Homo-oligomer: A and B are copies of this chain.
Amino acid sequence: MEEMIKTQTSFIQVENGSVGTPKGFHTGGQNIGLRTKRPDMGWIYSVTPASAAGVYTTNLFQAAPLQVTQASIAEEQKLQAVLVNTVSANSCTGQEGIDNAYTTRAWMAGHLGIPDHLVGVASTGVIGLQLQMDKMEKGIAAIALNEPKAPFEEAILTTDTKPKHLAVQFEIDGKKVTIGGACKGSGMIHPNMATMLGFVTTDAAVAPDALSHALKAAVNKTFNRITVDGDTSTNDMVLVLANGMAENKLLNEQHPEWQAFLKGLQMVCQGLAKFIAADGEGATKLIEVQVSGAKDDHSAEVISKSIVGSSLVKTAVFGSDANWGRVICAMGYSGESFDTNKVSMALGDVVLFKDGMPVAFDEEKATEYLNGDSVVIKTTLGEGNGEAVAWGCDLTYNYVKINASYRS
Question: Which residues from chain A sit less than 8 Å from chain B, CB to CB?
Answer: 58-61, 89, 91-94, 126-128, 187-188, 190, 192, 229-234, 309-312, 315-316, 318-319, 321, 323-326, 328-333, 336-338, 340, 353, 356-358, 395-397, 399-401, 403-408
Contacts and interface: CB of A to CB of B under 8 A. Distances in A.
Given A399-B400, A401-B397, A127 B229 contact: no
Given A59-B333, A231-B330, A311-B311, 18 more contacts: A61-B340, A92-B353, A92-B357, A128-B325, A128-B358, A190-B333, A230-B310, A231-B333, A232-B329, A233-B329, A312-B403, A319-B405, A321-B407, A323-B406, A395-B403, A397-B397, A397-B401, A399-B400
A229 B58 contact: no
A61 B231 contact: no
B59 A231 contact: no
Given A127-B325, A311-B231, A333-B58, A94 B401 contact: no
A356 B92 contact: yes
Contact of A403 (B59, B316, B407, B408): B316
A172 B58 CA distance: 51
Contact of A395 (B91, B187, B309, B400): B400
Contacts of A93: 357
B400 A337 contact: no
B58 A231 contact: no
B321 A406 contact: yes
A400 to B, nearest CB: 5
- For this chain, the copies found in one complex come to 2
Contacts of A395: 400, 403
A330 B345 CA distance: 32
B404 A316 contact: yes
Contacts of A128: 324-325, 353, 357-358
A318 B404 contact: yes
Contacts of A60: 331-333, 336-338, 340
Contacts of A230: 230, 309-311
Nearest to A325: B127
Contacts of A91: 325
A231 B325 contact: no
Contacts of A403: 311-312, 315-316, 319, 395
Contact of A329 (B231, B338, B356): B231
B61 A94 contact: no
Contacts of A319: 403-405
Contacts of A358: 92, 128
A408 B310 CA distance: 20
13 contacts: A59-B329, A60-B331, A89-B325, A188-B312, A192-B333, A230-B311, A232-B332, A311-B403, A315-B400, A315-B403, A316-B403, A319-B403, A395-B403
